[in-house]
Chains A and B, each alone.
Chain A
Amino acid sequence: MNFKLLIILFLAMITSTSSNAQDIQSLGKLHFNSDGILFAGDNVSGAVLAFNFTSEITPSETFEINIYNVDAQVAAILGTLQDQIQINDIAVHPTSREVFISVTRGHGDNALPALLKVDAENNIHTIDLSKVEFTSQSLLSVPHSSHKLALRGSMGSPPTKKDIAKSKQSLRILTVVDMEFYKGELIVAGLSNEDFNSVLRRLPYPFEGEESISSVEMYHIAHDQYESRAPIRSMVIKNINGRDQLVAAYTCSPLVLIPLEDITHNTKVKARTIGDMGNGQPIDIVPFKLEGEEMLFVTNNSRSPRVIPVKGLHNAKVVSKEDFERGPKLDLGPIIPYGPMGQSIMFTGASLRIDLLNDHQFVSLNRDIETGSLDLVTFNTKMPFKMHNIVGEFDIPTPSSN
């Protein structure tokens, strides 16, 4: 064991069981296990946290959540202005079905983490982080704050103001991009500080300071190359071909399978590319059932969501460089989308974060396409759209009905 690692392990040891709110520096990605333990990524401190919400109770009936201008409402109850609020993630409690929201209140040095929940009556409650118990574990080999995203423009145009702002962001923001809980372990996708930046970490829970790290490589169909730097954007665990596997989505937008038994410490995992959803950046993958059939609802920050039948992933062809002609594959070419990637569907507005509210509804942090307002709204899983921005034949009364 080298000295640097020893120091890191030492620090992990002294911080792993703390429960001071001041130890929480940020709250980003959220993930509930089936017992009601809420895992949260703290990218500022490079740690994962676990909050115990196992005693929440089952509601007597299903409910909808429809809160408009949710960021303004969160700002009001946290005593600040709307422009000081950034909503980072949402997660539905497995029992109470209440929606937990991670927030950054304020900017820069003044930024404070906040955790809120929305109950069945659509009331928003602040969870006082100084009074809630949690455990945490510092992650090994997290990206340095000083390492930034690369600066680049698009399609020959020079970088814009927003591109420049993007390039000032630290790679640290990609430490914890997604999490899944599996048989007593938290699996974390994100970046490390090693040469191969995209990693999967496995941490036994309850946290004891143990962590394994594997780097991940996959064949990127659209880029026509093997890639190991960009992190997995979203993942779920499904039994595919008789094995428990990660179904993981990358930007621009390969879908890969990774058998869980392949993720062992200090190895390079070769993910199996089985499809490409087309250009864009996946946000969430939500498993749900549509008329009894297992489906994945995959949202994307650049295109409409896709519904992918899980049965199509069984026996899907695993592709590599040998399967394609050389050169990039664009949306407008004949190859993309590739593989059993289901269908792109109608969805109103842009879902920034989504989770399953109950067996027939999603709850989405949604950007309204007309007003730009940020809303927390419920969608039916079968027809996930709202009528308020749509005017069609059925909105015009027939002469006889007037």
Chain B
Amino acid sequence: MLMILSQNLASQTNSALLTPTEPDGSVSLELSELLPENVKTHPERFFQVYVNHDHNAHLELAIQGTYSLNGNALSFSPIYPFDLGISYTVKYRSSLATEEFLIQSFIIGENQIVTSPEVLNIYPTGEFLPENLLRFYIYFNNPMEKGYANTFIQLTNAEGDVDSNAFMEFKDELWSANGKRLTLLFDPGRIKQGVSTHSELGPPLLEGNNYKLTISASWQDVYGQKLSVNTIKKIEAVHAYRDKINYNDWTILEPEANSKLPLEIHFDRMMDHALIRSMIRISKKDETSICGFWDFSDHEHSAYFIPEENWVTGDYIITIDRNLEDITGNNLHGLMDTFGKEKTQKSISDLKIPFSIQ
């Protein structure tokens, strides 16, 4: 996240207010002294962010959002992104010792440094992908112009022929709220066996063949800047995932106590990385959640959970929503494509895998 140092620092206080330059940025107050624990309970006493009073003269209502504390820096992220071009005011205390508030305003979109757009990642990250792959996730650094996915993204075979029916044409494209992640879903009719388009057109990816997914350099971000280069992902289609996810084959590697080393889960196949983030929860035995973030390796065959705080010895539980999917849409209930196979009964309870840290 880009931050610029506020020009109007109260020099005698040694505090620094960092204001955002992007709509999804946050406001951060750094004090020279270490913030006491009680700041956590009433962070709003140290600073609050308002829509500028010029716009809302009769209001004293602060923007709602979440505060986070890191060392001697207190940050505020609004629930909704800041708007471009309107003025915001920060009321903040320059030090713990004073009850006096300083005022600092900022506008996003003026003098801001906007980085050039680029494709950051395409998931699944592997080159060898099963022919019944369900979706791609494409991550951009800037929010992109919506409504052009089918114009600027193409799937071509080794001969260079474009498959213009490969992806689902949605009434609305599947973008994340910040406009930086596109979910590109293959037309399920092409993947599912026994459906007429599958029989007529065949699957978009056919085992043993090579393809290219190309994201055109002509696509613009919301600031009107084009991606500078074509982004090409090479794909070789391999055998479809037609077997149920076998979680008994997963390997869990426990981290060491008093470390922030990752908890490792090695799956029996490539899993949907985005669903891992929302559908796998790590908690202590008493159900208190462990905060942390996920990272992936081995082309999403493995997921690493890195905790915010050091692990402590004790018993833990990995709770997995059975709607967690592999990259072809099979979940822990059963197969996405049940053609010619028995349908399985849904189990309502989450999958729970215990582990201990010694």
Interface residues of A (CB under 8 A from B): 3, 6-7, 10-11, 14, 17-22, 25, 44-46, 69, 72-73, 75-82, 84, 105-106, 109, 112, 114, 124-126, 128, 130, 144-145
Asked if residues A79 and B63 are in contact (CB atoms below 8 Å), the reply is: yes
Q: A7 to chain B: which residues have CB within 8 Å?
A: 188-189, 195
Q: B177 to chain A: which residues have CB within 8 Å?
A: 21-22, 112, 130
User: Known: A3-B196, A10-B192, A128-B79. Contact between A76 and B63, CB under 8 A?
Assistant: yes
Interface residues of B (CB under 8 A from A): 49-51, 55-56, 58-59, 61-66, 78-83, 86, 88, 146, 168, 171-172, 175-177, 188-189, 192, 195-197, 278, 323, 329
In the complex, A130 Cα to B24 Cα: how many Å? 14
Asked if residues A14 and B64 are in contact (CB atoms below 8 Å), the reply is: no
Interface CB pairs A-B, < 8 A, 10: A3-B189, A10-B189, A45-B171, A72-B58, A73-B61, A78-B79, A79-B51, A79-B83, A80-B80, A128-B66
User: How many contacts between A and B, using CB within 8 angstroms?
Assistant: 91
User: Known: A3-B197, A21-B177, A22-B177. Contact between A78 and B63, CB under 8 A?
Assistant: yes
Q: B56 to chain A: which residues have CB within 8 Å?
A: 72, 75-76, 81-82
In the complex, A130 Cα to B79 Cα: how many Å? 9
A173 to chain B, nearest CB (A): 13
B146's nearest neighbour on chain A, judged by CB, is A109
Q: A75 to chain B: which residues have CB within 8 Å?
A: 51, 56
Identify which of A25, A82, A106 contacts B172 (C-beta below 8 A): A25
Known: A73-B61, A80-B80, A81-B51. 17 other contacts (CB 8 A): A10-B188, A11-B168, A14-B329, A19-B278, A22-B176, A22-B177, A45-B171, A45-B172, A77-B64, A79-B65, A79-B82, A79-B83, A80-B51, A81-B56, A126-B80, A144-B171, A145-B171
User: Known: A22-B177, A76-B51, A128-B79. Contact between A81 and B61, CB under 8 A?
Assistant: no
Q: B197 to chain A: which residues have CB within 8 Å?
A: 3
Asked if residues B278 and A17 are in contact (CB atoms below 8 Å), the reply is: no
Identify which of A6, A25, A81, A124 contacts B55 (C-beta below 8 A): A81
A27 to chain B, nearest CB (A): 13
B146 to chain A, nearest CB (A): 6
In the complex, A128 Cα to B58 Cα: how many Å? 26
In the complex, A72 Cα to B177 Cα: how many Å? 23
Identify which of B58, B80, B146, B168 contacts A105 (C-beta below 8 A): B80
B336's nearest neighbour on chain A, judged by CB, is A14
Closest 9 CB pairs of A and B: A76-B61, A79-B63, A126-B64, A77-B64, A22-B176, A76-B59, A22-B177, A79-B78, A10-B188
Q: A79 to chain B: which residues have CB within 8 Å?
A: 49, 51, 63, 65, 78, 80-83, 88
A23's nearest neighbour on chain B, judged by CB, is B174
User: Known: A80-B51, A81-B51. Contact between A73 and B175, CB under 8 A?
Assistant: no
Asked if residues A46 and B171 are in contact (CB atoms below 8 Å), the reply is: yes
In the complex, A139 Cα to B281 Cα: how many Å? 30
User: Known: A21-B177, A22-B175. Contact between A77 and B83, CB under 8 A?
Assistant: no
A131 to chain B, nearest CB (A): 9
A25's nearest neighbour on chain B, judged by CB, is B172
Asked if residues A112 and B80 are in contact (CB atoms below 8 Å), the reply is: yes
In the complex, A93 Cα to B63 Cα: how many Å? 24
Q: B175 to chain A: which residues have CB within 8 Å?
A: 22
B82's nearest neighbour on chain A, judged by CB, is A79
Asked if residues B64 and A20 are in contact (CB atoms below 8 Å), the reply is: no
